[in-house]
Amino acid sequence: MDYISTRGSAPAVGAAEAILTGLAPDGGLYVPASLPGVDFASLRGCTYPQIAFAVLRGFLPEYEDDFLQGILAQTYGDAFGGKAGHLVQLDEDLFSLELWHGPTCAFKDYALQLLPRLIAQARRFRGEVDTTRILVATSGDTGTAALNGFADREGTDICVFYPVDGTSEIQRLQMVTQEGGNINVFAVRGNFDDAQRGVKAAFSDAGLARNLAGQGVRLSSANSINWGRLVPQIVYYATSYLHLWEQGILRYGDKLDFCVPTGNFGDILAGYYAKALGLPIGRLLCASNKNNVLADFLETGRYSAKRSFFKTSSPSMDILVSSNLERLLYHAAGSHEAVCGWMAQLAETGEYTVDAHTLSAIRATFRAGWADENAVYDEIRHMHNQYGYLCDPHTAVAFRVWQQQPGHATRPTVVLSTASPFKFPGHVLSALGRPIPKNEFDALRALEDHSGVAAPASLAGLAQKPVRFNATLLPEDIPAITLTL
Ligand SMILES: *Cc1c(COP(=O)(O)O)cnc(C)c1O
């Protein structure tokens, strides 16, 4: 199967090449040129790795079946404690898909535990002898999940840059205590955008690329524009549907809705591909926090990043330019020229408006809503009082947006729960009206005591792990430091 760029002026490539390069050379994103068929109804009773294999094999034809089956069993077995795709019923028609039972307690583990294995094999296909050096700018979850996924993977090393005051203490400790001989972590003075700018400068520095090549190093990216980040996320939409069918909650063919807390539009776009493959999905509900640029776009067709940026309790959704939306625009409009036009307008003026045909193609599947900070805290409290269910602020955004939809309780819906509540114990305690201890580990224990739920061991144990990385640098030092690792 070929992958083509959304912008239409880069050569088509195979899956392995798309995964190894990340961004297409014309600045677009790789999308599959056609979609493989998946017979979902035949997968009743299958395990998570088996369903993953049925979904992924058509998208990754160069990867041999044995190899794929092997890495899928390794990835979604022990590392997820037998809880890959774990679904919890809260009400007759309401389910929470808990995607945080992986090693770093956020949904990004689904892709970032698999991606290093796909990259390692892509290197073999290409006969790559150079080291693949992964650079990541992160506001928290991506860096943590990427470090864990790439630690001690042959042929690769990874360097993560996080804003010095931009992450929670737990997220910071997850990064700076990560073990592995091929990893590096730096705090960057400034905010996430400063760190991101430094990393982008490294990627676009031709002199640096030459120097790195002299050392046998080639840079690559693990952020969510990489097709290898997106494709593993299709699987849990399918496992959710099949599970509800097996439980007799659905008959095969009944429509199932999903509500997704959204930032860069990768997770929800995987649901769009699941539907395009033939899974009986009804609506995909895109949930935003106070940074509601996507909610406005999906309602009106006008995308405007010219607005204030808010720091919220759901930091992984604090984003004004959602990169993966470009893929949806391409599929909905069916035109490279249209996508190039909108992306050029976005770069020049900070906004664009799609035509009526494209908007109605999008709205055939998508609905949207958003929740401000009061509503999020309210919802954390409501979920706890009503269902005895503890949820993190990202997940609470989604529950709230689901509640706001007219007729929401009449359609079975799966809400994607993207992070463990114990990653954000201060916000959760505060929403529940409890005092917040200063130290985050005291907060974690207070939340355990209050809720009667045990925190994931990988978070509770962080306080005892030695800190390995404590260097801080300026954003402009990022390109140079990538040479000296
Ligand atoms: C990354 C992240 C999101 C947003 O996912 P996108 O694919 O960027 O839309 C939501 N919640 C959590 C906890 C995340 O880490």
Cβ(262) – ligand 1 distance below 6 Å:
yes
CB-based contact 370:288 (threshold 8 Å): yes
Strands 183-188 and 156-163 turn out to be parallel
Residue of 419, 431, 415, 452 whose CA lies nearest to 170: 419
Q: Where are the alpha helices (DSSP H) in 192-321?
A: 192-203, 206-214, 227-230, 234-246, 266-276, 293-300
The answer on pLDDT for 81 being more than 90 is no
The answer on pLDDT for 409 being more than 90 is no
What's the 10 CA to ligand 1 centre distance in angstroms? 29
Partners of 28 in the β-ladder: none
Which ligand 1 atom lies nearest to the CA of residue 419?
13
What's the 97 CA to ligand 1 centre distance in angstroms? 14
Task: Please report, rounded to a whole number, the percentage of residues in the chain having pLDDT higher than 90.
Answer: 87
Structure tokens at 365: 């599947």
Residue of 454, 467, 462, 463 whose CA lies nearest to 81: 454
pLDDT score at 224: 83
Cβ(267) – ligand 1 distance below 6 Å:
yes
The answer on pLDDT for 165 being more than 90 is no
pLDDT band at 1 (very low <50, low <70, confident <90, very high): confident
Which ligand 1 atom lies nearest to the CA of residue 140?
15
Task: Among 138, 292, 316, name the best residue to mutate to test ligand 1's pocket (greatest count of ligand atoms within 8 A of Cβ).
Answer: 316
Which ligand 1 atom lies nearest to the CA of residue 395?
11
pLDDT score at 293: 96
Please state, in angstroms and rounded to a whole number, the distance separating the CA atoms of residues 437 and 452.
18
pLDDT band at 313 (very low <50, low <70, confident <90, very high): very high
Cβ(263) – ligand 1 distance below 6 Å:
yes
What's the 215 CA to ligand 1 centre distance in angstroms? 35
The answer on pLDDT for 415 being more than 90 is yes
The answer on pLDDT for 157 being more than 90 is yes
Structure tokens at 170: 């737990």
pLDDT tens-place string over residues 258-286: 999 999 999 999 999 999 999 999 999 99
Three-class DSSP category at 394: helix
Cβ(171) – ligand 1 distance below 6 Å:
no
Please state, in angstroms and rounded to a whole number, the distance separating the CA atoms of residues 371 and 399.
10
Supply φ then ψ for residue 267, to 5 degrees.
-65, -45
pLDDT score at 324: 94
The 8-class DSSP code of residue 466 comes to P
DSSP codes of every residue in 446-457? HHHHHH--PPPH
Supply φ then ψ for residue 393, to 5 degrees.
-60, -35
CB-based contact 168:140 (threshold 8 Å): yes
Task: Among 101, 174, 394, name the best residue to mutate to test ligand 1's pocket (greatest count of ligand atoms within 8 A of Cβ).
Answer: 394
pLDDT score at 49: 97
Q: How far is CA 365 from CA 94, 281, 306, 358, 467, in A?
A: 19, 9, 26, 12, 46
Cβ(316) – ligand 1 distance below 6 Å:
yes
Task: Among 105, 262, 416, name the best residue to mutate to test ligand 1's pocket (greatest count of ligand atoms within 8 A of Cβ).
Answer: 262
Task: Please report, rounded to a whole number, the percentage of residues in the chain having pLDDT higher than 70.
Answer: 100
Please state, in angstroms and rounded to a whole number, the distance separating the CA atoms of residues 426 and 423.
9
Residues 6+ apart with CB under 8 A from 95: 87, 88, 89, 240, 244, 412, 413, 414, 415
The answer on pLDDT for 167 being more than 90 is no
The answer on pLDDT for 140 being more than 90 is no
Cβ(418) – ligand 1 distance below 6 Å:
yes
Please state, in angstroms and rounded to a whole number, the distance separating the CA atoms of residues 334 and 382.
42
Cβ(157) – ligand 1 distance below 6 Å:
no
Q: Would you say how long the chain is, in residues?
A: 485
The answer on pLDDT for 233 being more than 90 is yes
Cβ(265) – ligand 1 distance below 6 Å:
yes
Cβ(224) – ligand 1 distance below 6 Å:
yes
Structure tokens at 336: 């490279």
What's the 106 CA to ligand 1 centre distance in angstroms? 8
Cβ(322) – ligand 1 distance below 6 Å:
no
pLDDT score at 407: 85
Q: What is the mean pLDDT of the segment spanning 430-439?
A: 95
Please state, in angstroms and rounded to a whole number, the distance separating the CA atoms of residues 409 and 403.
8
Please state, in angstroms and rounded to a whole number, the distance separating the CA atoms of residues 325 and 330.
9
pLDDT band at 411 (very low <50, low <70, confident <90, very high): confident
pLDDT score at 404: 95
pLDDT score at 414: 98
pLDDT tens-place string over residues 188-228: 998 887 888 899 889 889 999 999 999 999 999 888 889 99
What's the 420 CA to ligand 1 centre distance in angstroms? 12
Q: Work out the mean pLDDT of the chain and round it to a whole number.
A: 95
Please state, in angstroms and rounded to a whole number, the distance separating the CA atoms of residues 290 and 375.
10
pLDDT band at 452 (very low <50, low <70, confident <90, very high): very high
Q: Give the residue numbers annotated as catalytic, written as ranges.
A: 108
Which ligand 1 atom lies nearest to the CA of residue 394?
11
Number of Cβ within 10 Å of residue 65's Cβ equals: 9
What's the 323 CA to ligand 1 centre distance in angstroms? 12
CB-based contact 97:236 (threshold 8 Å): yes
What's the 292 CA to ligand 1 centre distance in angstroms? 14
Residue of 154, 376, 366, 172 whose CA lies nearest to 265: 366
What's the 266 CA to ligand 1 centre distance in angstroms? 8
Task: Among 264, 265, 328, name the best residue to mutate to test ligand 1's pocket (greatest count of ligand atoms within 8 A of Cβ).
Answer: 264
pLDDT tens-place string over residues 385-406: 999 999 999 999 999 999 999 8
CA dihedral 119, 123, 129, 130 (to 10 degrees): -40
Supply φ then ψ for residue 35, to 5 degrees.
-110, 135
